[in-house]
Amino acid sequence: MNLKRVIPTLLLGDSGFVKGQNFKNHKYIGDSTNVVKIFNDKEVDELIVLDINASRKNAPPKFEIIEMLASECFMPLCYGGGITSFDQAKTIFSLGVEKICLQTSSLLRTELISEIAQVFGSQSIVVSVDVATNFFGQRRLYNAAARRSLKGSWLEHAQKCVDAGAGEVLITSVKHEGLLGGIDEALIKEASDNLSVPVVAGGGVASVEDIKLAIQCGASGVSVGSFFIFYGPHRAVLINVPSKEVIEKKLSEIL
């Protein structure tokens, strides 16, 4: 069976990897090198690493850390955070990273997507689209760096990024992120039904059943954070990834 991708997503803070809830209250989960080595041992499909402070602080990518991560990873690596220019993207690729993830820069200048895609190809660019839900249940495009919702349509923005050359879209529900309470099925389905590129679904995965459900909703990959990192009601840090056999068995139930 050709498995859909199940992708651990790690958030890089100032002194290592962290994980929070609804994009806040981040808790330290471990040293960058050690955490990556654990996922190497688990033989995961891919790894996404997002620097959550770079764009917020108008700081450039941490190239030394990126080089270290790329050298440690046995799986394809996608890196995002602070990328604002073609030259920065070029440097990151030269360090051994297979994909870059753009969010803040895609909100400011979609032309950057085209500039990178023309040289490195669309398959090398993932656009991260965070979606918030307001009090009335309305979905809004969310700027994670500015920590606020925007007026524009999240789907129109995602489509604009695809038109510019993005080869993949990472959709994350802010309302569900980090809570281990289940995924946003409707959001994943809407994104998958309307976008012509692979969609990676993020936010809320709490079980292998949720991974299966996201795939059933149309996602080609599932971004997983807390489910692979925390254990028990007190959210003790215990990185634990179900075996490929367990995931494959669950996905084989999809007709």
Which are the catalytic amino acids? 130
Is there a contact between 80 and 101 (Cβ–Cβ < 8 Å)? yes
CA distance 209 to 189: 16
CA distance 105 to 128: 10
CA distance 205 to 190: 18
Is there a contact between 44 and 242 (Cβ–Cβ < 8 Å)? no
Type and span of the H or E element at 39: helix 32-42
Is there a contact between 67 and 32 (Cβ–Cβ < 8 Å)? no
Tokens describing residue 34: 């050690």
Other C-beta atoms lying within 10 Å of the C-beta of residue 156? 11
Is there a contact between 9 and 44 (Cβ–Cβ < 8 Å)? no
Tokens describing residue 75: 């799986």
